[in-house]
């Protein structure tokens, strides 16, 4: 994990991602939000979970935001960009982060059941993979990000 704290732009992006997560909650989706920042720190794209509303198993917030950023940049590589997300990415999302060559990832809550950036797996820093290793800043506003998830699942039980 990185010792470089999130920048003001990255903290603003996490607030935007949390608002996206709230919108997902209101739509009946697991409340996860994501933002891709450009090299200048400006927002390129946002995403929120949309698996239920889109009937798409790949409709994770990270995938939604990364697809839109790649489309807008007309480039499958997001060199110089940063992904900011409210929940630790899963295996699928970690694979896409590597494929997009995102050099920096910021996330809020840890996912002790399916996380692939340090909790269950650590795909981003697995030296056996032929991708550059992204810098990861974990646990930013973790309690707030986790609380939204806990609230969502409390309504489902």
Residue 88 catalytic?
Answer: no
Query: Phi and psi of 64, rounded to 5°?
Result: -60, -50
93 is in an annotated binding site: yes
Q: What is the dihedral of CA 65, 106, 25, 78, to 10 degrees?
A: 0
60 is in an annotated binding site: yes
Contacts of 120 (CB under 8 A, 6+ apart): 111, 112, 113, 114
Identify the active-site residue in 10, 20, 62, 88.
62
Whose structure tokens read 């990415």? 89
145 is in an annotated binding site: no
- Known binding-site residues for Zn(2+) equal 60, 90, 93
- Known binding-site residues equal 60, 90, 93
Active site residues: 62
């Amino acid at each position: 994990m990185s010792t470089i704290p999130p920048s003001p732009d990255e903290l603003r992006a996490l607030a935007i991602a949390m608002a996206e997560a709230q919108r997902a909650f209101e739509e009946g989706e697991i409340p996860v939000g994501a933002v891709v920042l450009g090299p200048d720190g400006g927002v390129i794209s946002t995403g929120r979970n949309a698996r239920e509303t889109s009937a798409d198993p790949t409709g994770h917030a990270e995938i939604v935001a990364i697809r839109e950023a790649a489309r807008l940049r007309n480039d499958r590589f997001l060199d110089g960009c940063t992904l900011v997300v409210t929940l630790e990415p899963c295996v699928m999302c970690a694979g896409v982060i590597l494929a997009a060559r995102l050099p920096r990832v910021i996330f809020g809550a840890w996912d002790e059941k399916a996380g692939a950036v340090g909790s269950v797996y650590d795909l981003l820093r697995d030296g056996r993979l032929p991708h550059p290793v992204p810098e990861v800043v974990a646990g930013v506003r973790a309690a707030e990000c986790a609380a939204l998830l806990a609230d969502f699942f409390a309504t489902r039980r």
